[in-house]
Amino acid sequence: MRLLIGAASALVIAGVLVAPVVLLTGGSTSTCARALLFRGGTYVARPVPANAFVQAIAIGVGVASGCGASPANVNIRSLAGVAAARAVALPADSSSIYVRRGICSGAPEAGLAACLRRS
């Protein structure tokens, strides 16, 4: 009897812990798209492996948005060997770069660097 009560209690506790996550996210695991507006172009976040790109100099301020966050001004840095018209980076984020919409959109993560460095 004690085992049955313990198992029932565990199920209730598990339900209470999981319910807020399911309700707030709708139960889906879809990812949101972070975007950046810079010099009139829209850039989309792409994940990159650590040290795949080297951030160079500060080149201006853009507006970051997406993933439920309010639009905010962010500092923009260029990437060594990549034209800013193709891709840029945020100083605080080394796990992704922002690629201008329509450029290298079909390139896999492993081939993204080579695609961006082509002129």
- The conformation of residue 53, written as its DSSP 8-state character, comes to S
| Separation between Cα atoms, residue 67 and residue 33, nearest integer Å | 6
Q: What is the pLDDT at residue 62?
A: 96
Task: Flag whether pLDDT at 117 surpasses 60.
Answer: yes
Q: What is the mean pLDDT of residues 27-34?
A: 63
Q: What's the burial of 89, exposed, middle or buried (CB within 10 Å: 0-12/13-18/19+)?
A: buried
Nearest to 53 by CA among 104, 112, 119, 105: 112
Compute CA 39 distance to the chain's CA centroid, rounded to the nearest angstrom. 20
Query: pTM, whole model, 2 decimals?
Result: 0.71
